[in-house]
Amino acid sequence: MSTRTKGILTLALVAGAAVGGYYLWTFAMEKKKVADEAVLSIQSELDGLDPATRAAVIAKLSSDEVKRYKGGAATA
């Protein structure tokens, strides 16, 4: 294989890796945006509750997550 062919192949591999990296980065940023919006929505709902109800809701959610985690059903 000539030096020129090796150079072209190397360039193609680097370009492919760059495109793949950019795709993964944009995908991750979109997921983060959705998660941030969900957090804001949940936070605004919790802020509207009285302190006792808010504490009960947070305790229930926490308890459910601990049970789910201990049961092996935790997923990202």
Q: What is the distance between the alpha carbons of residues 57 and 51, in angstroms, rounded to a whole number?
A: 10
Give the H/E segment covering residue 53.
helix 51-70
Count the domains in the chain: 1
Cα Dmax for the chain = 75
**Is 76 part of any domain?**
no
- For the cut 70, the answer to whether the pLDDT of residue 54 exceeds it is yes
**pTM for the whole structure:** 0.59
- For the cut 80, the answer to whether the pLDDT of residue 52 exceeds it is yes
Parent domain of 58: 25-71
User: HSE of 25 in the Cβ direction (CA atoms, 13 Å)?
Assistant: 6
**Is 15 part of any domain?**
no
Q: What is the distance between the alpha carbons of residues 20 and 23, in angstroms, rounded to a whole number?
A: 5
- For the cut 90, the answer to whether the pLDDT of residue 51 exceeds it is yes
pLDDT at 24: 97
pLDDT at 10: 96
